[in-house]
Amino acid sequence: MRHLAALALLALLPCACSGPEPAPEPTAQPAAEVPRRPWPQTFVTPAVLVAREVTIEGPPGLLDHFALRPDQRSHDYVVRTLPEGLLQEVTLLADVPPEPIRGYLDQLEVAAELRLRVLERAVDCELVVTASGDAFFQRPGEPERRGETLRLSETSLR
């Protein structure tokens, strides 16, 4: 009798499993990527920027064009995510001999005496370098620029 009941259940099993095919789950469409404008050619020629403090802000992809060289013995290095984007900040430590904070944006060599901030914004924006405190900027063969504050951008260096 048990065998008969087991055979009956086995016979009904294919019927129970052969119901209508479930509808396929709709696949999520990937978000359309916003096309980026071409990377600015502002700093593809060699140049030097020296100041007490330097701030670099730019669009997504900025960190692909920027290299930083902090010295652990002389500099404090912090990376933070902000609502505006990803911030890298290097400051000179107290009570250490002054050691410039060096960075490179394409072919622009940056030397900051006290602080260097780099903010890769989450949205498209203009590439801007702001130097303050006895700022000096020069490209080879061009007149130097000096000032308490210098603002270098795609539009100001054309």
Q: What is the pTM of this model?
A: 0.76
pLDDT of residue 2: 53
pLDDT of residue 115: 97
pLDDT of residue 102: 96
Domains held by the chain: number: 1
Phi and psi dihedrals of 121, rounded to 5? Answer: -70, 155
Distances (CA, A) of 116 to 57, 78, 103, 120: 11, 11, 8, 13
pLDDT tens by residue, 30-44: 555 656 778 888 899
Res 114 pLDDT > 70: yes
Angstrom distance (rounded) from CA 135 to CA 118:
17
Is 76 part of any domain?
yes
Res 113 pLDDT > 50: yes
> For residue 105, what are the domain limits?
49-57+72-121+132-145
Res 17 pLDDT > 90: no
Least confident of 2-6, 113-117, 142-146, 153-157: 2-6
Is 88 part of any domain?
yes
Three-state DSSP string of 20-53 = CCCCCCCCCCCCCCCCCCCCCCCCCCCEEEEEEE
Cβ neighbours of 105 (radius 10 Å): 24
Is 116 part of any domain?
yes
Is 4 part of any domain?
no
pLDDT tens by residue, 41-57: 889 999 999 999 999 99
Is 16 part of any domain?
no
Is 110 part of any domain?
yes
Res 122 pLDDT > 60: yes
Angstrom distance (rounded) from CA 62 to CA 84:
14
Is 150 part of any domain?
no
Res 27 pLDDT > 90: no
pLDDT of residue 37: 77
The percent of the chain in helix, strand and coil, each rounded to the nearest 5, is 10, 45, 45
Is 30 part of any domain?
no
Q: Are 49 and 109 in contact (CB under 8 A)?
A: yes
Average pLDDT, the chain: 85
